[in-house]
Structure 1
Amino acid sequence: MSNRYPVPSTDSAIAALRWALVFIFLFFGIAKFAQYEAEGVARIASQYPLFAWMYPLWGPRVASNVIGTIELATAAALALGAFSPRISVIGGLMGMATFLITLSFTLGVPLWEEGYGFPFIGSLAQFLFKDAGLLAGCYAIAVFSARKAGLARA
C-alpha cells in the first residue's frame, strides 16, 4: 500500500496562477476607467515622479485610463500566454513591471497605522504589500514560460 497521493502538475499550478492574475489585471484595469478609481489612483500616483507628469497634462481621468489600458494589455498578454509561451513571457514581464512600480510607491509614504506604529500597517500599506505576492506570481509565470519557450535553461 502506497502513501503517495497524486500531485497536480506544474503546468496546472501555473495555469491556476495565470488565470488568477488575468482575473486581477482584468478587473483592476476595468476599474481604472471609473471616476472613483481615477480619483483614488490620483491620490497616490500624482505624487509619484513616474506618473506625476500625466496629471497636469491629461487630468486624473485620462491618466487613470492610460494605467487601466496597460493593465488590460497585461491581462490580454497573460491570457494569450496560455497558448503561446513567448507571449506568456511578455505578459509575466509586464506584470512584474507593474508590481515593481506599485511596490516602489512604498518609499516615502506612511505605511504604519497612525497612533499604533510598527507592526500595524495602514490601509495604504495593505494595498501595496499584496503586490509582493503578485510580483512573485508574475515572476513564476515569466520564468516557467521562458523555459517552455526555450529562452532559458531549466
Structure 2
Amino acid sequence: MHPITSAATTTRSNAVVNNHEALLRWSLVVVFLWFGGMKFTGYEAQGIAPFIENSPFMAWLIDAFGVRGASAVIGVMELSTAVTLTVGAFHHRVALLGAAMSCATYAITLTFFVTTPGVAEPTAGGFPAISAPIGQFLLKDLVLLAASASLLRMALARCQAARS
C-alpha cells in the first residue's frame, strides 16, 4: 500500500471515530443535563420514587433525604456526570471518568428491571412483555449504556495512546 494512501485512510478513519465520539459525548451531555435538571422538580421526584424505593442500591436515599431530597441527590450526580463528560471533551483522563460515571448510571438504572414492580405486563403474559409506562421507560437505558460503554472504550484507548 502506498504510504500517502495509508496516511489518508488513517486520517479519515480517525475523523470518523472522532465524529462518533463527539456525537455520543454531546448526546449524553444533553440527556444528563435534561434528566438531571428535571430531578429538582416535584413532578420528576414523584415519578422516580417507585424506582428508588424498590432499589436495594438506592432506597437508602429516601430514608436519608426524603423523596424530593433523594431526587435532588440523583440530580446532582447526573449534572456532575454532564459536566465531567463536557470537560472530558478536552481532557482524556476526565473523559474516562465521565464515561465511567455514565456507565455506572445506566447499569444501576437497568437493575430497576428486576426490582421495580410493574415492569412486566401481566395482561400480555408477564415478562418478557414489558409495560409501557415502566418497562419501556427503562428500556432506553440499554441503548444509553451501550453509548456510554462505547465512549468509555474510546476514552480508554485515548488514555493508553497518550501513555505510549
TM-score of the superposed pair, with normalisation by structure 1: 0.88
Query: Which protein has the larger Cα radius of gyration, Structure 1 or Structure 2?
Result: 2
Cross-structure match for 2:139: 129
The one-character-per-residue Cα deviations of 1:114-150 (angstroms, maximum 9, x if unpaired) are: 3122554212111111111111111111110111122
Match of 1:33 among 30, 40, 55: 40
Cross-structure match for 2:124: 116
* Aligned-residue offset at 1:68: 0.4
Show structure 2 runs of 5+ residues with no match: 1-11
Cross-structure match for 1:138: 148
* Aligned-residue offset at 1:152: 9.3
Show structure 1 runs of 5+ residues with no match: 1-5
Could you say what the CA RMSD is over the residues aligned between the two structures, in angstroms?
2.0
The one-character-per-residue Cα deviations of 1:29-85 (angstroms, maximum 9, x if unpaired) are: 000000010111112201212211221222111110000000000001111111011
Task: List structure 1 runs of 4+ shifted beyond 2 angstroms.
Answer: 108-114, 117-120
Q: Which has the higher helix share?
A: 2
Distance 1:124 1:152 in 2: 43
Asked if 1:81 corresponds to 2:88, the answer is yes
Alignment coverage as a number of residue pairs: 148
* Aligned-residue offset at 1:111: 2.5
Percent identity at matched positions? Answer: 40
Cross-structure match for 1:10: 17
